[in-house]
Every structure is written in structure tokens, then in C-alpha cells.
A and B are shown apart, each in its own frame.
Chain A
């Protein structure tokens, strides 16, 4: 019984601490729009190079590769652009070592790089925001 009192006191103190530490905050949307205003991004001009080097190389999202689909052409990318999977994996889940694309080489030894550079990521985000134009 003597052990219960200090433990219950601790619980009350912990409870008093936890109640004010409850918040209901929603984080802002990623601030991409303002950075994209000055960019004219199209698949043919910029994005194809990024995707060829980061996704559609031999062994991954290319014929015979382990990645789903063949991303070496605009038409090959369209299904995953339209259903949102491309944005989900490349942007939303980019920090996930297995699901975020490009994936970490610790998970996929075939992966040529773990992450897009900040500039490449911004380019992709602006391209998606503009409705992924081809040219």
C-alpha cells in the first residue's frame, strides 16, 4: 500500500502536465506556389532528365526493372500521375526509406540515389502543381 501513494501522486502530476500539452494544430500546406510562380516547368524541358536519372534507369522503372511501370516516356508516367501515386511516393512520402521515391539504397540496393536534390524536388512539385505539362 505504501508504494501506491507516491505512484498515484506521480500519475496525477503527470496528468496535470499532459493536459495542457494537448493541442489541436493543423500544419500549413507546403509553400510551393510562391516558389513556382517564376518557373516554367515542362516534362520535355526539365522533368524528363530528372526522371531518367532518378527513376527510369536500367534495373528500376524501365523495361525489365524491378520498379512498377516504365517511366522512360511521358505516356508511361501518365497512369501514376493521374491516380496521384507519383505525387504520393515522390513528394508526400519522400522521407520513408522504402516507400518514398527514390528509395534508400539500404532498402533497394539498386537505387542510384537516396533522395532528389532540393532543386529537383521543387521542380517536380512545381510541375505537378502546374498539372504536369508535357511541353
Chain B
């Protein structure tokens, strides 16, 4: 009889664990400005995405003569992501490329390992992987990253571990740690850039949220902590702030960021634009979900 009780108690314990509700919508979108979020698409959902970054809003290249950057495109991404399972997304996109590597195609893999539960697991945890291939023509300069002596030199990778918590109905915070690997780098640069990211989302009204992201390289010439990084190399930390409108069927993000590139393999190694010099831009992302 004791055995039966033990089994019932064990089943109740398991069912109470299983019965915990996962916290929904830590973020409304799989991307927050330029940073991948912890969110994952449910199975058989297709997300068609268009992301655009205009030219410098202010500074020498901005102002009225370029209609505050709206007449220029710093970078454009068109692509999709798909929920293969409730824990795994794959994606594909094409960007113009804002750094020296141009005409980029990207493959994305995202896995969800842990979900924040009401009264249970305190955080959500996802892994993000990105492989980027430049399809641009070869340069004739052997010191250029577009010389592409080997096919592998066209490629760059980014992997990160993303942890996030929805603290309340209004506020979510995300931290990430990642490595960006470039197969070929200019003399004096490093192949592996270790970086960390911070993302927040603050729900202001029912449909409007304030979002922000920063991606901080911790080594190499790109890092603000590296004495040799400035002013010669002119690198700056990508930093964005924006508004997110959720209209149910789709999410629309309007943002301002100094990063010209859209994908991590582009903006982490190559962001030189400076907020203080007016080299930030208006950007938007449209994401539309379909059931397949």
C-alpha cells in the first residue's frame, strides 16, 4: 500500500511540475533591434522578415541633403525563420552588408533549452548560431578581406548563449555571451571576438514597448576596453534604442542605432559609426507570421 502512495505522490509531484505555465512573450520578437532574443517560434510558424537601416541621420552625411539618411540604405535584410519544433528554429536571410564583406547570405539555427515558468524556472535560455557567407566578387588586393584566397575566407560565424527573464508584465531583460569567428581577418585583427550583449524591453502601453540593445566586444581592436582600439581604428560599440509596435499579426520595430550592419557577423567586427558624431540611423523591422 505504501508503494502505491509513493507512486501517487511522485505522479502528483511530476504533474505539478508539468502543470507550471511557461511565461509567454518575454520579448515579442525573435530579434530586438540587432540582437537575437531568447524567443523561439512555435512549430510550423513561418516568420517573414524585412529589416532596413537607413543612412546617417545627422553628422556630415546626414541632415537635409540626404533627407536625414532616408535616401540611403546602410543595410537591408530580407529573409525568413521557421519553427521546426517548439524548441528549434532555422532561418535564412540575405543582407547587403555594411562592413567590407558584401552580398551576405546567412543561415540561422536557434535552440531553446530552458523556459521561464510561473513560480518555477527563473529564466529562459536559448542558443543561437549564425553562419554567414559573402557572395561578393573577389578583390585583387591580397591584404583585403574580400581577396578570398580560400573559399572559407568568405565565411564568418557567430554563436551565443542567451539568458532572459521577464521580471513583470512590463519589463524583460536579457544577457548573452557569444563568440564571433571570422575565417580571415586583416593584419592586426583577431579571428575570434568574444562579446556580450544586453537587451531590454519595457512595455509602455498595450501595443507599444520601448526596446534597447547593446553588443559589447570584449577583445580585439573592436573592444572599448582595448587601449589600442582608439582613435586610430575608429571602432564603436553598437548601441540601439527603439519602439516596438505589436499589432497581433505582426510586430513592427522602429529604432535608432549607430550600427550600420544588421547581422552580428557584420556589426560586431565592423561598427565604426559613432552616436556622438551623428552617425546613427533610423531603422525598421517588419515581421509577419504565417501558419504552415
Contacts and interface: CB of A to CB of B under 8 A. Distances in A.
Interface stretch (A41-49, A94-102, A127-135): A94-102
Given A7-B84, A27-B144, A108 B60 contact: yes
Nearest to B90: A7
B94 interface: no
**Which of A11, A25, A28, A103 has its CB near the most chain B CB atoms (within 10 A)?**
A25
Nearest to B63: A66
B181 interface: yes
Interface of chain A: mostly helix, strand, loop or mixed: loop
Contacts of B232: 83-85, 87-88
Given A4-B85, A27-B143, A28-B143, A22 B60 contact: no
B187 A27 contact: yes
B145 interface: yes
A90 to B, nearest CB: 12
Given A24-B183, A26-B189, A85-B231, A107 B72 contact: yes
**Which of A11, A68, A84, A98 has its CB near the most chain B CB atoms (within 10 A)?**
A98
A18 interface: yes
A29 B234 contact: no
A98 B61 contact: yes
A88 B60 CA distance: 17
B110 to A, nearest CB: 12
Contacts of A23: 150, 152-153, 183-184
Contacts of B72: 98, 106-107
A24 B191 contact: yes
A21 interface: yes
A21 B187 contact: no
A25 B187 CA distance: 10
A67 interface: yes
A107 B191 contact: no
Interface residues of A, number: 37
Contact of B145 (A3, A27, A66): A27
A25 B273 CA distance: 26
A7 B43 CA distance: 13
A25 B90 CA distance: 29
Given A7-B84, A88-B234, A109-B65, A22 B142 contact: no
Nearest to A11: B109
Given A28-B142, A99-B273, 13 more contacts: A11-B109, A22-B181, A23-B152, A25-B150, A25-B183, A26-B184, A26-B185, A31-B143, A84-B231, A84-B232, A95-B100, A96-B100, A98-B56
15 contacts: A24-B183, A26-B187, A27-B144, A27-B145, A28-B142, A28-B143, A83-B232, A85-B232, A96-B272, A98-B55, A99-B234, A107-B66, A107-B72, A108-B61, A109-B65
Interface of A: 3-4, 7, 11, 14, 18, 21-31, 66-68, 83-85, 87-89, 92-93, 95-96, 98-99, 103, 106-109
Q: Which 10 A-B pairs have the closest CB atoms?
A: A84-B232, A30-B143, A23-B183, A29-B187, A25-B184, A98-B61, A24-B191, A21-B152, A23-B152, A7-B84
